[in-house]
A and B are shown apart, each in its own frame.
Chain A
Amino acid sequence: MVSREEIEHVAKLMRIEIDDPTIYEGVDKMIGYFDILDSAGVESEEISAREIELSNLREDKHIPFGEKLIEKLNHYKGTYVRAPKMV
């Protein structure tokens, strides 16, 4: 069970404004469902990670794209992205 305030706090950190009240119920139900993981008995389990051989990585070299990607953005000025004011 998570409170409305906790959901709003996380949403704020993720820059999401909740204007659909069903979101609270949906998130709460799912978090409640995740509690089933408590009974999985996996405390001593090691987490396995996928390993990628260094030889599988492509060479780290600059490949020009051939098009001006900056111009595909909605807001740009010269070679800068225009963003709203931070302060």
Chain B
Amino acid sequence: MNLKISALQFTREVKTGNISVEDFIGKTMEHIEKVDGNLHAFLSLNDNAVNQARDIDKKIKSGDKIGQCFGMPISIKDNICIKDTKTTCASKMLENYIAPYDATVITKLKQQDAIFVGKVNLDEFAMGLSTEFSAYGPSKNPWNTDYVPGGSSGGSAVSVSAFECVASLGSDTGGSVRNPASFCSTVGYKPTYGLISRYGLISYANSIEQIGPLTRTVEDAAFMLNLIAGLDSNDNTTINNNNADYLKDIDSGIEGKKIGIIKEMIGEGINPTVLSATKNAISKLEELGAICEEVSLDMVKYSVAAYYAITTTEAGSNLARYDNLRYGYDFSVEGYAFNAYIEKARKKLGPEVTRRMILGGFVPSSGYAGKYFLKALKVKSKLTRQIDEAFKKFDLLISPTVPILPFKIGEKINDPASLFLIDINTVTANLTGKPAISIPYAISNGLPIGIQLIANSMNDKLLLQAARALEKTVKLPEVPI
């Protein structure tokens, strides 16, 4: 059984009867058992997955209507609610939390007969970019297990890269889908803000975060987007995509398209190997008929500070609910005064979450709001104006997804400020609401490099077409697991 096939290949193989869903899911679960002790992508597994696969096989055999996923094994980041299953956010605070409802993306995938093989690891409450801040221990990069897989959707990227599923859903607040996709050599897609419902995604920074797919191919990302995008009455920030078909015409190519190379994302601090791969990708796009020119977005240098000022403020508010009364671990209320009780409950939050909650109290507080929060909002506005201006001239923008190569586990964990700067190329798409994708492009000394393309809002289809064109120029080695 070949577990290395793409999502679309999987559906074709099941449709033609070449493989049974039960066999594929059974082998997938065996493979997870075999490799995940080392990789630690999963926080929990679906013990019922093989039974669900058997039911789908029966539906296929009896000619019943079957959803477009045909029993495809998908992993789900553990901050997205699946009814009656644990949703921990990789936090001790939600260690025993059972979601009472399905996120909209889960409802949609269930309707299409997807099988959720398990919930995958993340930095606690999605706050981090290496998965080292999970309360249940870090995930490891399948390309080299001494290295981080990126984050915060590290478990999603590892599970796709290591063939533990064919696709995964993550969430992207400042690059949390694209960063691990780049570090693990998978495709990672952050849609236009509002294209995918956030209902049932446990909130970190509502104004900029989005759910997004991690897949083996760009076509698979388009396929997943077809299944989960669109208006949702439970999330009033969703936008109408008129049932766009993102797979249709995906091989249209990029001839004649204008691509801006973001100057501030290939400058100071960039790893020379990453820079070289980026230049190579630009040459390939030019060979395909694109016209590439440098463009300056000078607000990019303030984007990381603005991003953290805004997200910590929203996180401070969102995490206030974890007080052990509405959510949280169980200990008796007897014998405690109110404040002492909540302080004790919040000790279950890890150091990064605690740090960001305190920052989130500081930034909007009296005497500091004008200095930090309002300025951050102004940077966000100016950056949005600058990128909108750039899109009057260019169809797409390009940069490396992450300016450095994956780093060793533990190498940067004690220096949050230097960790935050790794987000420099990804936060712009979040702050401005633009769609962005990371495409696996190169392997250097056994470590992956991803290239990021960004498009204007609602130009997700064009973005996927360009990503597909770039993807077709690349032949990468297989992950050494």
Residues of A within 8 A of B (CB): 2, 6-7, 10-11, 13-20, 22-23, 26-27, 29-34, 36-40, 42-43, 45-48, 50, 52, 56-58, 65, 67, 69, 72-75, 81-86
Residues of B within 8 A of A26 (CB): 351, 355, 416
B153 CB–A CB distance under 8 Å: no
Q: Are A40 and B299 in contact (CB under 8 A)?
A: yes
Which chain B residues numbered 368 to 418 have a C-beta less than 8 Å away from chain A? 371-372, 374-379, 381-382, 384, 414, 416-417
Instruction: Supply 26 A–B pairs (Cβ within 8 Å), ascending by A.
Output: A10-B358, A10-B361, A14-B316, A17-B346, A18-B358, A20-B351, A30-B420, A31-B359, A33-B305, A37-B305, A37-B375, A38-B375, A45-B381, A45-B382, A46-B378, A48-B384, A50-B207, A52-B237, A67-B100, A69-B100, A75-B332, A84-B337, A84-B340, A84-B341, A85-B337, A86-B338
Residues of B within 8 A of A40 (CB): 299, 302, 306, 375, 378-379, 382
Q: Are B351 and A22 in contact (CB under 8 A)?
A: yes
Q: Give the shortest distance, in Å, between B203 (CB) and chain A (any CB).
A: 16
Which chain B residues numbered 310 to 362 have a C-beta less than 8 Å away from chain A? 316, 320, 323-326, 328, 330, 332-333, 336-344, 346-347, 351, 354-355, 357-362
Q: Are B330 and A47 in contact (CB under 8 A)?
A: no
Bound CA span A2–B362, Å: 10
Bound CA span A19–B346, Å: 11
Residues of B within 8 A of A16 (CB): 343, 346, 354, 357-358
Bound CA span A29–B362, Å: 13
Q: Are B362 and A10 in contact (CB under 8 A)?
A: yes
B271 CB–A CB distance under 8 Å: no
Bound CA span A82–B234, Å: 29
User: A18, A42, A47: which has the most chain B beta carbons within 10 Å?
Assistant: A42
Residues of B within 8 A of A (CB): 98, 100, 207, 233-234, 236-237, 299, 301-302, 305-306, 308-309, 316, 320, 323-326, 328, 330, 332-333, 336-344, 346-347, 351, 354-355, 357-363, 365, 371-372, 374-379, 381-382, 384, 414, 416-417, 420
